[in-house]
Homo-oligomer: A and B are copies of this chain.
């Protein structure tokens, strides 16, 4: 039996290792060798699969963004009514899957990567656009014309909570508390207009 189907396994291992390494060091100054080592292979193989370091980073970004997207979709599927849906989106943003030490560190660095690498910027904008659309969709029903504005505020709050968590560097981020902070803002906006 030929060793087929290794590609997705290897790639997944590299993506995971990349996030861990970026999260661990808190910086993009991670070498391909470090990543490959943690993924249990040679750096040459990493290049073989991804072509370049930049592509490895982008794959890691896509992974995190898709994890996030999945979490949000899952949460939305169970929520009934605009308010519940909005709450679900926010909660999903601070789930244990997303609001982990490494992921938070990676997140911050992806913002930096986006300053340099166009594709990274594009990815981040896609994420922002989706979040915005999702928020506006339900906000429209609750705050009408102010939906856009409130959506922007909410998104800013989410990012702000993330970035501040990155600085705390405590062992275990408290997703619940973080979600509460973001929810607090949203609630104020909603209750004001209701």
- Interface residues, chain A, with chain B CB atoms under 8 Å away: 25-29, 105, 108-109, 111-112, 114-116, 121, 124-125, 128, 149, 152-153, 155-161, 163-164, 166-167, 169, 181, 184-185, 188-189, 191-192
Contact = CB atoms under 8 A, between A and B. Distances in A.
Contact of A108 (B111, B167, B185, B189): B111
A125 B167 CA distance: 8
This protein's copies in its complex: 4
26 contacts: A25-B116, A26-B116, A27-B115, A27-B116, A29-B116, A105-B115, A108-B115, A111-B166, A111-B167, A115-B166, A115-B169, A124-B167, A125-B167, A152-B181, A153-B157, A153-B181, A153-B185, A155-B160, A156-B161, A159-B159, A159-B160, A159-B163, A160-B161, A160-B163, A185-B188, A188-B189
A188 B181 contact: no
Contacts of A29: 116
Contacts of A149: 181, 184
Contacts of A192: 188, 191-192
A167 B109 contact: no
Interface of A is mostly: helix
Contacts of A157: 153, 156-157, 160, 185
A166 B149 CA distance: 19
Given A158-B160, A160-B158, A121 B167 contact: yes
Contacts of A167: 111, 114, 121, 124-125, 128
B156 A164 contact: yes
A155 B163 contact: no
Given A26-B116, A27-B116, A111-B108, A164 B153 contact: no
